[in-house]
Amino acid sequence: MLARADLETATLEADTRRLVVDQLPAMRDSLVRACTDGKWSSAIRACMVDAIDHDTFEKCERDLTPAQRNTLERGDSDER
């Protein structure tokens, strides 16, 4: 939802916008895997769900452990 909201205000060419929109499901799935595999706390999950913008979301990320943050940034997990 946050990425879609950012796209609404972004100045992008139509082709670029489409390419980004096409990647949103993969981005979501990667986030879900990082959360599940990294065993994020309920407080961090709630923080991210309640985030109203990208800045708030990034503040939630700061509470991740270094290993959890690394997995999130890489977009993969050690479990696969």
- In this predicted model, what pLDDT tens digit does every residue of 39-63 receive, in sequence order? 999 999 999 999 998 899 999 999 9
Residue type, 71: T
Reading the block at residue 47, the tokens are 């923080």
Distance between CA 54 and CA 60 in Å, rounded? Answer: 10
Reading the block at residue 48, the tokens are 């991210």
Which of the four pLDDT bands, split at 50, 70 and 90, describes residue 6?
confident
Distance between CA 19 and CA 40 in Å, rounded? Answer: 30
Entry pTM = 0.71
